[in-house]
A and B are shown apart, each in its own frame.
Chain A
Amino acid sequence: MASEVNRTGTPLVEMRDIRIAFGGVRAVDGVSIDLYPGEVVGLLGHNGAGKSTLIKILSGAYQMDSGEIRINGTPVEIRSPRDARAAGIETIYQTLALADNLDAASNLFLGREIRTRLGLVDDARMEAETKKIMARLNPNFRKLKEPVSALSGGQRQSVAIARAVYFNARILIMDEPTAALGVHETAMVADLIKELKAQGLGIFLISHDTREMMELCDRVSVMKNGKLVGTERVEDVTEDDILSMIILGRNPRREAA
């Protein structure tokens, strides 16, 4: 990608030698990856390669068996989604993870409601804040009062993204953010990723679309059977190289060298 990422300082996120097993299956087996401010790192691999599991460890949904996570060089313990949020990590899930029966504001602030002095939830203020941020992210968004089940895929996605942007996340995890979207909405998400990157956020992106990854990412890490095949800068590899890393589990260019 065009803009140059400075990788000389302390990484925003370092995951070192992460391991987790489910009933004897090593879902993630000694994987180390890192992420710098203003960088987009793509995670690629077949279904079951361990990408989502690795990312769920960082977002607090799973707890690793061993390994170390550092944020800005400081070791952190992430035992729950709450811990991850406290560390500035926001996650946008493939399934969007919205409560369909609640409106956009309730979803955006879920778990972090604005309250009045009496300790009651301040719906009017949350709605006003939602209106403000939505005007920035998706000007077409009007259905503030309706349950999010009434929204289109793109609108639901913008609610999920608004959650990350509003709470000033430093690290964003996006698990197939465009899987459920149409062409126009996919382009919108891509623009947003570029904007957030320019603001200095670090983004982990999971996708099956290799071309999309080549366009949006600065580096890609490829996983196979729970192990890391390799991490490459996108300008150093071709789409075919990445495909053989995914399928064969090795990088032909490196082996040739």
Chain B
Amino acid sequence: MTDAADTGSGLAPRRGFLSQLEIDLRLLGMIGAFALLCVAFGVYTGGTFLTPRNIFNITIQTVSVAIMATGMVFVIVTRNIDLSVGSVLAMCSAVMAVVQARWLPGAVGLGHPMIAPVTILTGLAVGTAIGAFHGWLTGYQGIPSFIVTLGGLLVWRNVSWYTTSGQTVAPLDQTILLFGGAEGTLGPTWSWVVAALLSLGVVWVIWSGRASKTAHGFPVKPLWAEGALTLVLVGAILGFIAILNAYPVPEAKLRRLFEARGLTLPEGYTVGHGLPISVLILILVAVVMTVIARKTRFGRYIYATGGNPEAAALSGINTRWLTVKVFALMGFLAGLSALVAQSRLQSHANDIGTLDELRVIAAAVIGGTALAGGVGTIWGAILGALIMQSLQSGMGMVGVDTPFQNIVVGLVLIGAVWIDIVYRKRLGVR
């Protein structure tokens, strides 16, 4: 197999349409599966599944798991696992709830503008610290991450219980509530601004990648392929924003908002939701994590360590410290997800984030992250989270019983990995 290519058969074979586009077949397969899912549920529900309202809801329900799934990719790529993320989320949420609803209002007064930033920073710090501690136990003390985080799963769930004395904490700070979804959206105008910026970003990435290849004399894709790819991506961004903008804010809520400012709602006035702040956070996380994975030394070392830990260490990479950093990043993202989750639920309850660790791991694995380490992508994990949430919401709308929903999700998880294994064998990749 390998030698055939070495000798070089003279002329390069004529390349197919897809190979000229240089698109990952796995990505294409996942997008295809997702599209099929949407169409099937769309038909079955008579179009209800594909309404702007439902798409908006699925999107904001996906955010919390998707944010953590991006961090889980790094954890799994370095041949570790984190079973504690649901409990760490609960722990961060509990601390944030207590800080914003009990401590700070007593010190600075209810509704003070500093409450939200202090609360958020505290939550993120708690998550990062817990993650770093897990990473230290794994990297420096040599305890398997499975054990460390299995312990963490039990410990943090119940430390969070004591933090709030087992009570549900509500109402939350008004600014915090903006990070959950429907309560905090950008509105149509700013959503279009974000769409324009993202589109420019796509164009810049594709163009600068091409320029840098040309500068070093490497072959580039044909211009039409580059152009088609740009059009599809920009079209997807603009279409997504258009859908979110098409979901109007309910009239009762508009009236309440106007009354809060001492105005009356004009007759026939409507406005769309636009991009939720939580989704904007997910987009930023996705971009930053992708840059880390592909363009930084930190990311390169994560993948190298996953591929061959011994080789990485012999190359002078401090794999122990790397483990601490990867788990700290996972903890930070769990803290961020805690903000989104408690804001969406508009309260902190003891069961927040229960079973999230399994959803997060499933999302990463469905997205193509290999438990053997070394392989996994950020976009895959996000798409995995989206597929799982769509499946669950769709089945709910169709009227499938909850127990059966879980059976299906479990089967999909196993099926996705099975297809991946068959696909890899066919292509002869490891």
Contacts and interface: CB of A to CB of B under 8 A. Distances in A.
A95 B304 contact: no
A150 interface: yes
A150 B429 contact: yes
Interface stretch (B3-11, B123-131, B342-350, B406-414): B3-11
B269 interface: no
Is the contact region of chain A dominated by helix, strand, or loop, or is it mixed? Answer: loop
Interface stretch (A100-108, A190-198, A249-257): A100-108
Interface in A40-71: 59, 61
A82 B316 contact: yes
B243 interface: no
A150 B2 CA distance: 7
A195 to B, nearest CB: 22
A80 B308 contact: no
A152 interface: yes
A155 B217 CA distance: 23
A208 interface: no
Interface string B200-243: 00000000000011011110000000000000000000000000
Nearest to A97: B311
B35 to A, nearest CB: 29
B377 to A, nearest CB: 12
Interface stretch (A8-16, A122-130, A221-229): A122-130
A3 interface: no
A203 interface: no
Interface residues of A, number: 38
B430 A100 contact: yes
Contact of A149 (B3, B5, B296, B430): B430
B322 to A, nearest CB: 12
A102 B295 CA distance: 13
Given A111-B316, A124-B212, A124-B213, A151 B2 contact: yes
Contacts, number: 97
A158 B430 CA distance: 21
B155 interface: no
B310 interface: yes
Contact of B315 (A110, A125, A149): A110
A120 B294 CA distance: 9
A233 interface: no
A61 B317 CA distance: 12
B306 interface: yes
Given A101-B375, A121-B296, A128-B217, 20 more contacts: A59-B314, A81-B314, A81-B316, A97-B315, A99-B304, A99-B311, A101-B303, A101-B430, A102-B303, A102-B307, A111-B317, A115-B297, A121-B295, A121-B300, A124-B218, A127-B218, A142-B6, A149-B430, A150-B2, A155-B6
14 contacts: A59-B314, A81-B314, A97-B310, A97-B314, A98-B308, A100-B308, A102-B300, A120-B296, A124-B212, A124-B213, A124-B216, A124-B218, A128-B217, A151-B2
